Amino acid sequence: MGDEGRVEIDGSVMEGGGQILRVSTALSCLLNKSLQVKNIRAGRSQPGLRPQHLSGLEMVRHLCDGQMEGGDIGSTEITFTPGKIKGGTHIADTKTAGSVCLLMQVAMPCVLFAASPSELRLKGGTNAEMAPQVDYTLMIFKPIAEKFGLILDCDIKRRGYYPKGGGEVVVRMSPVKQLNPINLTDRGTVTKIHGRAFVAGALPIKVAKEMASAAVKCIRKEIRDLYVNIQTVREPDNEAFGTGSGIIIVAETSTGCLLAGSSLGKRGKNADKVGIEAAEMLLGNLRHGGAVDDYLQDQLIIFMALANGKSRIKTGPITLHTETAIHFAELLTKAKFTVAKSEDEDSSKEAHIIECQGIGLLNTNL
């Protein structure tokens, strides 16, 4: 704690990136704690706030009537003082290909504890490197996050790709009184594998077909008894801005778990390679025996910390993003996390159980 009970955060520790800002400012807003973040993205090639981080911070500041000092591109230190969380419409525009899904990550926990329903109009990249693709958010994150007792309505108005972005996603959420704990430890058996390979802009549908075909071949080498259904799609020109391509493949299990692998195309990258990358990512997630894939684990931490009761998730190797999310969730909420190797006989040596006794945050606005 710093001046007047302000929490001081070192933005260079652990993962050392934008995730520290997202977790800390969302929790600052929810717990009504002032925050000072220093050394923001200190180890990155371009340290300090980038446009997408700043637009996320501005949106949170707006939705909780907060105050912020140091909110400039390149700034390595901010002070954030939250106010009262309000519903209504909030707009964030990265004006770049910065990820709309990362904007959603910082705003979503906050609006769950608002006084009235919220609409978030998020503009930027929908399928961006180093961030969840919007398809992942819809196909994996949304149904799993809804197990906490929230309802997430997400409408893709327009897709936007690197380098210009130009996409728009509208998210509508109603507030909750409290979040339920979740238990995702029994993976069950894989019952269905499906996916989506897309192209947009100047790329021919042939590229999507090559990605899908390479992915199916790769999966068939390991999983022979299931039909793999990957749709190939050319995004309508009026629903996509720029040129892009990519693929997401989802495995559904008998217990309602969802795990994925995804990859994005880029100039000079062979379409087969994109398909194989996504397939290998999915197979890796299936091999470790977890009920949650490597990219979902860190996204669930903040909700586990806020939920009313004990949450447990079984996952593969613990990622640095997850360790970072746990560190800052514990620091700010005082929720208690434990991480232990899974003892189940059917798990690989890499499987872990993340357990959290949540703080049971109550929405006092309702």
Q: How confident is the model at residue 26 (pLDDT cuts 50, 70, 90)?
A: very high
pLDDT tens sequence across 61-81: 999 999 999 999 999 999 999
- Rounded-to-integer distance, Cα 181 and Cα 338, Å: 15
Tokens coding 351: 């499987």
Residue bearing tokens 């062979």: 270
pLDDT at 139: 98
pLDDT at 1: 42
Q: What are phi and psi of 127, to 5 degrees?
A: -130, 85
Tokens coding 197: 């390979």
Assess whether 321 carries a catalytic annotation: yes
Q: Where are the alpha helices (DSSP H) in the chain?
A: 18-31, 51-63, 100-111, 134-136, 142-145, 205-220, 271-287, 297-306, 320-333
Tokens coding 366: 């309702």
- Rounded-to-integer distance, Cα 60 and Cα 136, Å: 23
pLDDT at 94: 93
pLDDT tens sequence across 328-354: 999 999 999 999 999 877 667 789 999
Q: Which fold has domain 7-184+292-359?
A: UDP-n-acetylglucosamine1-carboxyvinyl-transferase; Chain (3.65.10)
Question: Given a cut of 70, is residue 98 above it in pLDDT?
Answer: yes
pLDDT tens sequence across 163-207: 999 999 999 999 999 999 999 999 999 999 999 999 999 999 999
Catalytic hit among 62, 321, 327, 352:
321
pLDDT at 2: 44
Q: How confident is the model at residue 365 (pLDDT cuts 50, 70, 90)?
A: confident
- Rounded-to-integer distance, Cα 21 and Cα 18, Å: 5
pLDDT at 4: 57
Check whether 259 is labelled as a binding-site residue.
Answer: no
Check whether 19 is labelled as a binding-site residue.
Answer: no
CA-to-CA dists, residue 152 to 108, 141, 147, angstroms: 9, 10, 11
pLDDT tens sequence across 149-174: 999 999 999 999 999 999 999 999 99
Domain with residues 190-288, CATH architecture: 2-Layer Sandwich (3.30)
Check whether 300 is labelled as a binding-site residue.
Answer: no
Q: How confident is the model at residue 274 (pLDDT cuts 50, 70, 90)?
A: very high
pTM: 0.96
Task: Domain ranges for the chain, please list them.
Answer: 7-184+292-359, 190-288
pLDDT, mean of residues 212-240: 97
Check whether 105 is labelled as a binding-site residue.
Answer: yes
pLDDT, mean of residues 215-235: 97
pLDDT at 343: 86
Please give the full DSSP string across 106-167, using - where no structure is assigned. Answer: HHHHHHTTSSS-EEEEEEEBSS-TTS--HHHIIIIIHHHHGGGT--EEEEEEEEEBTTTB-E
Q: Assess whether the region 7-184+292-359 and the region 190-288 belong to the same CATH fold.
A: no
CA-to-CA dists, residue 166 to 24, 91, 150, 162, angstroms: 27, 14, 28, 9
Check whether 231 is labelled as a binding-site residue.
Answer: no
- Rounded-to-integer distance, Cα 364 and Cα 361, Å: 9
Q: What is the mean pLDDT of the chain?
A: 95
Question: Given a cut of 90, is residue 312 above it in pLDDT?
Answer: yes
pLDDT at 346: 67
Please provide the size of the chain in residues. Answer: 366
Check whether 298 is labelled as a binding-site residue.
Answer: yes
- Rounded-to-integer distance, Cα 101 and Cα 167, Å: 11
